[in-house]
A and B are shown apart, each in its own frame.
Chain A
Amino acid sequence: MIRNKLLWKNSQHQYGVVSKALHWLSALTVFGLFGLGYWMVGLNYYSEWYQLAPHWHESIGILLFIATLLRLFWRKTAGKLEVISSHSGLERKASSVMTVILYIVLLSVMISGYLITSDKAIAVFDWFNVTPLALSIANQEDIAGAIHYYLAYGLICFAILHALAALKHHFIDKDVTLKRMTKLN
């Protein structure tokens, strides 16, 4: 009896468990943080969530930032997959451009969110504190807040496009694009 060995790193045709876990955890967290952020900014001052929701949003955001740095490192070390032969030249180009956009916007959303706090340490679940960064610009929190707001919407739009493209490959082209990221090995 041969038991399949767990694929940690990526193979040529399949993402490994670590890549998959980081990808899906990020996806879940990004949409979760977007929903939490959208909801919490409308909270009334007297809501019991008024202090807790932003605290969680910031804490999870900083943990996601750390996870994303690990993910970028893992991306370099885990090995590249082969391109799928049925993908057109345009699809290959679009896919790699979208990957770069998603990473840049994701990092920018998190950095701009971090910069909203400029004068008090950010407590990550009362587990550790992150020192804020005060830039020499007036009303940094307003500017960072506006950038964070628009980039968050941008990130969600790009993530939805990315998901629609994956679904198009799965249901219309009926190729293995999505399965490489979903199949349990």
Chain B
Amino acid sequence: MKNILLASALLTSSALIPAFAADYVIDTKGAHASINFEASHLGFSVLAGRFNEFSGNFSYDKDNIAASKISVTINTASFDSNHDKRDKHVRSDDFLDVSKYAQATFVSNKVTEKGAGKLEIAGDLTLHGVTKPLVIDAVKVGEGDDPWGGYRAGFSGTASIAMGDFGFKKDFGKVDLILHIEGIRQ
């Protein structure tokens, strides 16, 4: 009798703790995600662009933020700043050197809840063959059932990198990353 009580108490309490965070695949197929950047042009204005091809997945549970994780792989050759000749230059060995470093990756190692839907995602960014820690300040935009029978969660985030940290031949200073991802729960 005592054992049964203990067992039921354990079962009840364990039911209150979510076992695993749900897994999501980033919706790149529907292009409900984008990896954008902004850099200064000579100090006069802001130059914007993006990477068109990437893939990734994440785990997220609103009740257990610390268990969240994300990993994204970017095809560096998909760099696009709406100017083919600039893109060609950025893909060359002056910058991304995409023939040698075809992929860039971000893998999180710690997700911290900051309150009011805010998250701090710490991880490693590998770009141009160099791995550096990167912290993304993120915010959950929304989560719930979509009209087509799926379940989605979406986030926006910002981070900054210094071009000099990644060993590019040319260095134009700071680059801001503006990230939007939407995942479909598996």
Kindly supply a per-residue 1/0 record for chain A positions 96-123, scoring 1 wherever the CB is within 8 Å of any chain B CB and 0 otherwise: 0000000000000000000011111000
Measured between beta carbons, the chain B residues less than 8 angstroms from A139 are 77, 87-88, 91
**Is B84 among interface residues, defined by CB-CB distance under 8 A?**
yes
B88 touching A145, Cβ below 8 Å? yes
Measured between beta carbons, the chain B residues less than 8 angstroms from A140 are 84
Complex: A120 Cα to B85 Cα, angstroms:
9
Which of chain B's residues 106-130 have a Cβ closer than 8 Å to chain A?
none
A119 touching B82, Cβ below 8 Å? yes
Measured between beta carbons, the chain A residues less than 8 angstroms from B84 are 116-120, 140-141
Which of chain A's residues 26-59 have a Cβ closer than 8 Å to chain B?
45
Size bin of chain A's contact surface: 10 to 19
A183: shortest Cβ distance to chain B, in Å?
44
Output the residue of A120, A140, A142, A145 with the most chain B CB within 10 A.
A142
Complex: A142 Cα to B102 Cα, angstroms:
14
**Is B170 among interface residues, defined by CB-CB distance under 8 A?**
yes
Measured between beta carbons, the chain A residues less than 8 angstroms from B2 are none
Measured between beta carbons, the chain A residues less than 8 angstroms from B83 are 119-120
Measured between beta carbons, the chain A residues less than 8 angstroms from B85 are 116-117, 120, 141
Measured between beta carbons, the chain A residues less than 8 angstroms from B91 are 139, 142
Kindly supply a per-residue 1/0 record for chain B positions 73-103, scoring 1 wherever the CB is within 8 Å of any chain A CB and 0 otherwise: 0000100001111011001000000000000
B76: shortest Cβ distance to chain A, in Å?
11
Measured between beta carbons, the chain B residues less than 8 angstroms from A142 are 88, 91
A141 touching B170, Cβ below 8 Å? no
Complex: A66 Cα to B170 Cα, angstroms:
37
Kindly supply a per-residue 1/0 record for chain A positions 75-96, scoring 1 wherever the CB is within 8 Å of any chain B CB and 0 otherwise: 0000000000000000000000
Q: What are 14 A-B interface contacts by the 8 Å CB criterion?
A: A45-B170, A116-B85, A116-B88, A117-B84, A117-B85, A118-B84, A119-B82, A119-B84, A120-B84, A138-B77, A139-B91, A140-B84, A141-B88, A142-B88
- State the A residues within 8 Å of B (CB): 45, 116-120, 138-142, 145
